[in-house]
Amino acid sequence: MPATTPTALVIVFDGIEEIEALTPVDILRRAEIKVTVASVNGLPTVTGRNQITFAADTSITRVAEDSFDLVILPGGPGVLELLENQAVSHILVAQDKAQKELAAICAAPKVLANHGILNSRKATSHSSVRDALPRPSDDPVVIDSHITTSQGLGTAVDFSLTLVKKLKGEALAQKIAESIHHSSRIF
């Protein structure tokens, strides 16, 4: 675990599954992890799949060369936008090469798979993209080295608590789980 305040980047886009984006932001901030929300569209806001609009802190191009302890890809029908985005590709490949934490939920593990990041790694995802994974799992949350994947909206809290556990330890993750009255399956 880093001695300094850990940092996380959450990449957001139009058509995102709102809960899969905002749950990690909320839970990581409860853990006092510095979270940056960056939009792929370059605008200050994104609109999710359920027409909920929320603000980003910055654009993906402004943070493409920055270093983060963790990069998170939420899912949703707009995730296909990430497949062709050069800034996102650069961030993912650099994060993987540095063996730094990468996390993806719902359909977003397909983006990791398309970049070769999941080669030989066990991962899970939404059932609609499970065939894109080289070593698919039916587990709700899967950790393989520095890669964490999760199935979707219903697993967003456990996914987020797993990320807290990886960056700040199990005790804090358990404390947060208790404070939000969540009976986590990760402990």
Query: What Cα–Cα distance (Å) separates residue 138 from each residue in 19, 63, 128?
Result: 21, 33, 12
3 DSSP assignment: S
Catalytic residue among 8, 60, 106, 164: 106
Residue 97, SS3? helix
Query: Is 36 among the catalytic positions?
Result: no
**Whole-angstrom distance, CA of residue 8 vs CA of residue 102:** 10
CA distances from 32 to 5, 62, 109, 172, 179 (A): 8, 23, 26, 10, 15
Contact partners, residue 86, CB within 8 Å, separation at least 6: none
Instruction: Write the DSSP string, 107-129.
Output: TTHHHHHHTTTTTT-EE---GGG
β strands within 5-57, DSSP E: 7-12, 34-39, 45-47, 53-55
- Residues labelled as active-site residues: 106
